[in-house]
Amino acid sequence: MFKALLHPNDSAISTTSRILCNLHFPFSHKFLTTTTTTTSNPHSPSFAVSYFINNLKFSSESALKASKLVHFKTSKKPDSVLSFFRTHGFTDSDIHKIIRREPWLLSCDTQKRVLPKFQFLLSKGASTSDVVRIVVGNPRFMKSSLNNRVIPIYNLVTQYLQSDQKTIASIIACPSLLCSDYLAPNINMMAENGVCYSSIYRILRTRPNVIFCRLRELEETVKELKNMGFDPSKSYFGDALLGKIGLSKSKWNERIDTFKSWGWSEETVLEAIKRQPKCMLASNDKINRVMSFWVNEMDWDSSYLVKGPGMFGYCLEKRIIPRAMVIFYLLAKGLRSEKASLLSPFYVSEKLFLERYVLCFKEEESSHLLKLYHAMMKLGDKKARDIEES
């Protein structure tokens, strides 16, 4: 009887059963013979494997692995789970992505395990499409306890962001927020170390994933910045923390060395970082290109950039160069005092720049400045595209 069941020409042997037989798992011979039935038999132990392969396009290897995380012998339960997600706005593509990461969902009670989490987010102002984006971005949150994990984390984030709208926006940007093991202890540690409210707010609003590191690692970074002279009670500390965590120690030191190569001292670099910590996120190449244009092309002192390190975050080709050409023309023509701030033209909006430095002059002068500015912008666009394509 067993030989008949295992005969390779027997049409009753399913594709999945052949795979199981060829896999050299430490199953007993007796178990292998009992699983070699057709996949159409819903009571076969290999039914879950077939379901993953046929309904969700899993590979044989992935299906075998996923089948160990589910408990169903008929299609009733998994079909109901797929139907649940479809009725809540998820596409088949969304569902496949979710199940591949969290296959256990196919055998869970969605009404008790998943629906309450959807309802909680919807009650806070999230739309159906918001919920879909959050779940697809981080399906693991559906495994977390609503009362013991999701709600406490949500409330903690809202405590700093002060609105459900901002909290939902941050969760959409970083869905891992809702089930992070590190968020709460890290936020509490920062608060205990004097990191101000506005710094924590900025981190949660812009790059909350940065503080998804181990408590000891973040605590050491906070202490390191404090030892460098950064005041945690100041609003810039949050940006400094983002920059320090976002760069390895070697890259952080490389940035400092790059600035120093342009004549800045260690103290000067720290002064610039305190004014705008995000300057450290500019690449070495970007720093060198901005410095080279400012110092070598425009013959302006690099010390100006110590007071305006935010310049390293602007596009050289589409912002700095076009505006610099206008300011250079105005200085050359005596239309702008040399004592006037050299930095302010670069920080204002496009509208204010045109009003204050182009259109405010007589018609002939304004017309020339506008042509100059537009020509430099056009050239800058082309240059920027060339850089992106190279």
- What's the topology of domain 75-179? Transcription termination factor 3, mitochondrial (1.25.70)
Q: DSSP state, 230?
A: -
| Maximum Cα interatomic distance, the chain, rounded to a whole number of Å | 104
Of residues 193, 104, 123, 184, the one with CA closest to residue 148: 184
Q: DSSP state, 340?
A: S
Contact 60, 19 (CB under 8 A): yes
pLDDT on residue 139: 94
Contact 324, 298 (CB under 8 A): yes
Q: How far is CA 377 from CA 313, 350, 381, in A?
A: 18, 12, 6
Per-residue pLDDT tens for 25-50? 333 333 323 333 334 444 444 898 99
Contact 146, 124 (CB under 8 A): no
Output the DSSP codes for 14-49: -HHHHHHHHT--S--HHHHHHH-S-TT-TTSTTHHH
Question: Which residues fall within 8 angstroms of residue 65, CB to CB, at 6 or more apart?
Answer: none
Helix-then-strand count for the chain, H and E: 24, 0
pLDDT on residue 18: 45
Residues of the chain with pLDDT under 70: 1-45, 387-390
pLDDT on residue 15: 43
pLDDT on residue 71: 86
pLDDT on residue 114: 96
Contact 375, 367 (CB under 8 A): no
Per-residue pLDDT tens for 206-245? 888 777 778 888 899 999 999 888 999 988 898 888 888 8
